[in-house]
Chains A and B, each alone.
Chain A
Amino acid sequence: MNHAITANNLTKRFGDFTAVTAISFEVGKGEIFGFLGANGAGKTTAMRMLTGLSRPTEGEATVAGFDVYREPEQIKRRIGYMSQKFSLYEDMKVRENIRFYGGIYGLPRKQVRQETDRLIEELGMSEFANSLVSGIPLGWRQKLAFSIAILHRPAIVFLDEPTGGVDPVTRRQFWEMIYKTASEGTTVFVTTHYMDEAEYCSRVSIMVEGRIAALDTPQAMKASFGVETMNEVFLGLTRPGGD
Chain B
Amino acid sequence: MIQTENLKKSYGTTPALRGIHLQVQPGELFGLIGPDGAGKTTLIRILATLLLADEGSAQLDHKDVVADYRTIRRSIGYMPGRFSLYQDLTVEENLTFFATIFGTTIEENYELIRDIYVQLEPFKNRRAGKLSGGMKQKLALCCALIHKPTVLLLDEPTTGVDPVSRQEFWEMLKRLKAKNITILVSTPYMDEASLCDRVALMQDGAILQVDEPENIVNSYEKPLLAVKAANIYKLIQDLRQFEPAHTVFPFGEYVHLSLKSVVWPELIHGYLLDKGHTDIEIRQATPTIEDIFMEKSQL
Contacts from A to B (Cβ < 8 Å): 37-41, 137-139, 161, 164-170, 172, 175-176, 179-180, 182-183, 193-196, 199-200, 218-219, 229-231, 234-235, 238-239
Contacts and interface: CB of A to CB of B under 8 A. Distances in A.
Contacts of B294: 168-169, 172
Nearest to A218: B253
Contact of B159 (A38, A138, A165): A165
B219 interface: no
B264 interface: no
A117 B51 CA distance: 41
Contact of A180 (B38, B160, B233): B233
A219 B253 contact: yes
A interface, by DSSP: helix, strand, loop or mixed?
Answer: helix
Interface in B170-214: 188-191, 203
Interface string B202-237: 010000000000000000000000000000110010
Counting chain B residues whose Cβ lies within 8 A of the other chain, the interface size class is: 35 or more
Nearest to A137: B37
Given A39-B134, A40-B133, A193-B162, A176 B250 contact: yes
B35 interface: yes
A183 B233 contact: yes
B162 A138 contact: no
Nearest to B38: A167
Contact of B36 (A165, A195, A229): A165
Contacts of A175: 250
A219 B297 CA distance: 31
B245 to A, nearest CB: 15
14 contacts: A38-B162, A39-B165, A40-B132, A137-B37, A164-B159, A164-B188, A167-B34, A167-B36, A168-B293, A168-B294, A196-B251, A231-B163, A234-B163, A238-B164
Given A40-B132, A199-B252, A169 B164 contact: no
A196 B163 CA distance: 11
Contacts of A179: 232-233, 236
Contacts of A164: 159-160, 188
Q: Can you list the 5 inter-chain pairs with the closest CB atoms, starting with the nearest?
A: A167-B35, A199-B252, A179-B233, A165-B36, A38-B162
Given A169-B298, A194-B189, A230-B252, 12 more contacts: A39-B132, A39-B160, A166-B36, A169-B249, A172-B294, A176-B236, A179-B233, A179-B236, A182-B233, A193-B160, A193-B162, A218-B253
Contacts of A165: 35-36, 159, 188
B interface, by DSSP: helix, strand, loop or mixed?
Answer: mixed
B167 interface: yes
Contacts of B162: 37-39, 41, 193, 238
Contacts of B233: 176, 179-180, 182-183
Contacts of A172: 249-250, 294
Contacts of A176: 233, 236, 250
A199 B226 CA distance: 14
Interface string B31-59: 00011111000000000000000000000
Contacts of A196: 191, 251-252
Nearest to A166: B35
Contacts of B191: 196, 231
Instruction: Name which of B132, B163, B166 has the most chain A CB atoms within 10 A of its CB.
Output: B163
B289 to A, nearest CB: 9
Interface string B14-38: 0000000000000000000011111
Nearest to A176: B236
A45 B83 CA distance: 22
B290 interface: yes
